Every structure is written in C-alpha cells, then in structure tokens.
Amino acid sequence: MYTLIASADVPTTVTVIFSIFLTGLILCLALEEKLHAKKSVIAGSFAVICLLAGAAYEILPFGEVGIPSVPATQETDDHVTDHSEHESSHTVAMPVYIPAIDWGVIAIILGSSIFVDVTTKSGLFTWIAIKVTKASRGDPRRLLIFYGIMTVVFSAVLNNVTAMIIVGSLTVVSLERLGIREKLLAFLLIEGLLTNIGGLLTLISSVPNIIVGNAAGISFVTFFIKASPYVVVATAITLYLGARVFKIDKLKDEDEKNRAARQVMQFDENDGITSWAFFRFSTVVLCLFIITIACTSVLPYVKDLGMGYVALSFAMIMLLRYRSTADQFYRAVDWDLLGFFMCLFAVIYVMEWAGVLTAIGTGMKQILVAPGSATANARDVSTMLVGAAGFSSVTDNIPLAAMLANILEVELQTPPESKLWWSVIFGANLGGNITPIGSASTLVAVTIMHKQKLSMSFSAFIKAAGLFALVQIVLALAYVVLIL
C-alpha cells in the first residue's frame, strides 16, 4: 500500500510540530479512561488538527489519484497484487485522507465483526463453551486448562475482546455454581493473559497482526505455521504457572468430584439455541470462513480481492439469515473502533508526509544494527520486541503497530523475511499482558473483576501478571531469535 514518500523537503520545525501532535495522540490514547473519551473521538480530533495543519504547511499530496487501467498482476510474496508498474489511464478526484486509510484492514475488521456477531446468535460459541465446561466435570484444575485452551482458540478465531467476554462470563457463572468463587480472580486473570497469546495464533486474531502481517506480506498459513508453536508452549507454561501460583488444584475427594460433576452436568448447552438449522449452518460457514481465509493467498480471483473481501462476503452470507433485520447487526458494529482506525490511518499518513516517521526511522537506524537485513541479528530483534512490548503495555498497540509497520516497510526497507516483523507482532501482542490497559481484552478481564466486586488495582495487576508477562516475553525472545 505504501510508496516511498519524499519528505526530505519538509522543514525540521514542521516535523517537530507534527511530532508533538503524534505524542499528544499517543498520550491521549493512553489516558483514554481518564479523559472519558472514546478512541474514535480522540483519534478523530487529532486527525482533524493534523489534516488542517498538513494543508496549512502544504505538505499533503493534494491532487487526483491514478487508477490503473490494465489489470495485469505482479504478485509479491503472498497475496499482494502490485499494479504500480502500469500507467494509469484515468484519474479520480478524492479527498487526500481517503487513500490514507488501509481499507483492506477496515474491511477485515468490519466483515469479521458482523460475521462473529451473527454467528454468536446461533448459540454456537455458548454451546461449545458449555460442552467444554461439562467435559471438565467441575474439577478446578481441569476447568482452568479447558477454559485456557478455549480462550486461546476463541481469541484466534474470533477476536480477543469477544473471546474474553465469552469465557469470562462463563467463568463467573460456572465458578459460582461450583462454589469456588474465591478462584474467580485467578481464572479471569489467566484468561485475560491467554487472550493475548491466542491473539498471536492467526493473522486475523488481532489487529496488529493484520496491519503488520499485511505490510510484511505474510500469508495466513505462513503466520499460523510460524506462530503456533510459540502459542502452544506459552499457553502450557501460563496454565502451569497459573495453577501453581494461584493454587488451583485437582479435587481429591470422591464425594467432592461427584458433587462438582453433578453441578456442571446441570448446564444445558442446548438452552440458547433457537434454530438447529441455523446452528448447523453457522458451524459449517464458520469452518468455511477459516478455511477460505487461510487459503486467500492461493484462491484464484479471491487472492486479488483480499482477506477483507472474504470477511465481508462471509458476513453477507450470514446476514442472509437475518436479511429483514440486518440493521440490528449494523447497529451492533463497533463503530468507535472502525472510526478510530480510519482516523488513525489518516494521522499516520500526515505524519508520513510531515517527515515524522522518517525521523523515527532515522532514530531507529541509530539503535538497530542492521534493520534492512533479511537476517536481523539477535540484538535488533530483542530491542524491537522489548521496545514494542514496553510501548504496547502503556498505550494502544494499534497505533504502535501501524507506525512500526510503515517505518519498517518504507523507512527501513525491511525485507519480508526479516525477523523484525515478528518482533513487532510478538511485542505488540504480549505487551498487552504487562498492564491492565495494555490491551482491550485484559481491560475486559479487569472490568469483569470489578463487576464481581473483586479488587484489582493497576499495581495489583502488574504484580499479579508480571511474572507471566516476563516469562512470555523471554520465551518470545528466545523463539524469535533462535527458532523463527
């Protein structure tokens, strides 16, 4: 999507001014809760200011946008189709901020969001969740393991926040039923941490993956093959540590085991299913969705249309079931998140033209030894991973991922096979486990804790999650440096 932009003519003072805007945006996003402002409003406000300032300082590329006439394709690594070699036969007038937005990312998020919402209505996820609960037979240790695995899988297939909402709500109900509410805080904390590990499993599991993966040209299958071993090991270690630290033990007494089993067997997994036909249909379509997304880079025609098209198409297929009331799902879309992305992309676009990203890239070149090399050295990988994790823990990982993706691709010309891309991916995801504001899903976990009157302050979270985050990041470092 990005082409090399000549920002060398931009005066230093202009770059400094826009750096201040960027810092302001990042700070405001970090203080989102304190400001009582939605992300989209924060990003939107800064987008308005930056675009106006960009126009005033005459740094923005106003003018018509060229549309290629001959749809010959030139394939890059996996799925990106490059038309840039062809002359445009016609141009189109459009606002300067429209090409700034990565509409592929927007399409993936919008399509997946509607798809997941409609599929949820079939009762499929609650059915799976209750089946898993019953399989545990109420044993706390087994329940933790099963819920942990379910969290990772749901995070990978749905998104982190939805996964945390589903598993978190079920955890509250099932632990209350089992009479082990004192373990609720531990369960919710571990599940919150696992959402960010599950968010590493596939290309579409989290937004940083989509942004960075797209920029690096990493396909769905490649992403899965490279990330899954880490996810499996990190999940196992997190569950093991969680069980040890929070003393979540197996039931020993036969009477206790029978009583616990009787309690969970009372759950009725079929309770929420209003239409078995739609349930079966959703199951089939979900499987098809995952397969199609995985094969997007090899499917004829679909590979040119991209993953966003796949996500939107499957959303439309599911909406056929609710064709007369589709508007209820449009209302339920997280427009704040989509608005945030669009405004964020606009801000980053302006920053690009203002030379801010070039300046950051130059700074990074001072720190990194060989960022443009296909075989990034261990020091660069560690610096990037730890740096990304650190930033991601205190501010939103999406602007971080968006900026770093741009810098690595454009400024540092990092090749697609470089491990630096993976450093950003791992760092952006795992950083969310260090603080409660590091990721939306851990924020949901803390929200559930507070709703259940469980005390978990900012510092208490860091203290409780610190060991887990440290182990996960160290493991990621070793994995990226030595294995990937």
Q: How far is the CB of 415 from another protein (least distance, A)?
A: 37
Decide whether 84 or 274 has the Cβ nearer to another protein.
Answer: 274
Rounded to an integer, what distance in angstroms lies between the CA atom of residue 133 and that of residue 264? Answer: 7
Reduced to 3 states (helix: H, G, I; strand: E, B; else coil), residue 465 is helix
Q: How far is the CB of 6 from another protein (least distance, A)?
A: 41
Q: How far is the CB of 169 from another protein (least distance, A)?
A: 4
Decide whether 230 or 314 has the Cβ nearer to another protein.
Answer: 314
Decide whether 130 or 388 has the Cβ nearer to another protein.
Answer: 130
Rounded to an integer, what distance in angstroms lies between the CA atom of residue 449 and that of residue 482? Answer: 38
Residue-wise DSSP of 72-103: ---B-SSS-B--TTSPEEEEE---TTTTTS-H
Q: How far is the CB of 135 from another protein (least distance, A)?
A: 15
Decide whether 25 or 312 has the Cβ nearer to another protein.
Answer: 312
Decide whether 158 or 477 has the Cβ nearer to another protein.
Answer: 158
What beta strand segments (E) does 301-386 contain? Answer: none
Decide whether 9 or 327 has the Cβ nearer to another protein.
Answer: 327
Decide whether 263 or 373 has the Cβ nearer to another protein.
Answer: 263
Decide whether 219 or 441 has the Cβ nearer to another protein.
Answer: 441
Decide whether 191 or 380 has the Cβ nearer to another protein.
Answer: 191
Q: How far is the CB of 302 from another protein (least distance, A)?
A: 27
Decide whether 121 or 303 has the Cβ nearer to another protein.
Answer: 121
Burial pattern 249-275, b for ≥16 Cβ within 10 A else e, equals: eebeeeeeeeebeebbeebebeebeee
- Specify whether the CB–CB gap between 428 and 208 falls below 8 A: yes
Q: How far is the CB of 159 from another protein (least distance, A)?
A: 9
Closest CA to 60 of 23, 95, 104: 95
Pairing of the two strands 88-92 and 65-68: antiparallel
Q: How far is the CB of 439 from another protein (least distance, A)?
A: 15
- Specify whether the CB–CB gap between 175 and 181 falls below 8 A: yes
Neighbouring C-beta atoms of residue 169, cutoff 10 Å: 13
- What φ, ψ does residue 404 adopt, rounded to 5°? -65, -35
Decide whether 46 or 125 has the Cβ nearer to another protein.
Answer: 125
Q: How far is the CB of 170 from another protein (least distance, A)?
A: 5
- Specify whether the CB–CB gap between 396 and 403 falls below 8 A: no
**Both ends of the chain: CA-CA distance in Å?**
26
Neighbouring C-beta atoms of residue 422, cutoff 10 Å: 26
Judged by the rule CB under 8 A, the positions of this chain that interact with another protein are 113, 117, 120, 123, 126, 129-130, 161-162, 165-166, 168-170, 172-174, 177, 262-263, 266-269, 271-272, 332-334, 444, 447-448, 451
Decide whether 162 or 392 has the Cβ nearer to another protein.
Answer: 162
Rounded to an integer, what distance in angstroms lies between the CA atom of residue 280 and that of residue 392? Answer: 39
Cα 289 from chain centre: 18
Q: How far is the CB of 414 from another protein (least distance, A)?
A: 34
Neighbouring C-alpha atoms within 13 Å toward the C-beta of 284? 8
Rounded to an integer, what distance in angstroms lies between the CA atom of residue 335 and that of residue 40? Answer: 8
Q: How far is the CB of 270 from another protein (least distance, A)?
A: 8
Q: Measuring CA to CA, how many Å separate 297 from each of 224, 306, 402?
A: 13, 8, 22
DSSP secondary structure code for residue 19 in this structure: H
Q: Measuring CA to CA, how many Å separate 475 from each of 147, 160, 411, 430, 481?
A: 22, 21, 29, 11, 10
Closest CA to 233 of 259, 197, 260: 197
Q: How far is the CB of 174 from another protein (least distance, A)?
A: 7
- What φ, ψ does residue 92 adopt, rounded to 5°? -130, 135
Q: How far is the CB of 427 from another protein (least distance, A)?
A: 26
Rounded to an integer, what distance in angstroms lies between the CA atom of residue 224 and that of residue 179? Answer: 38
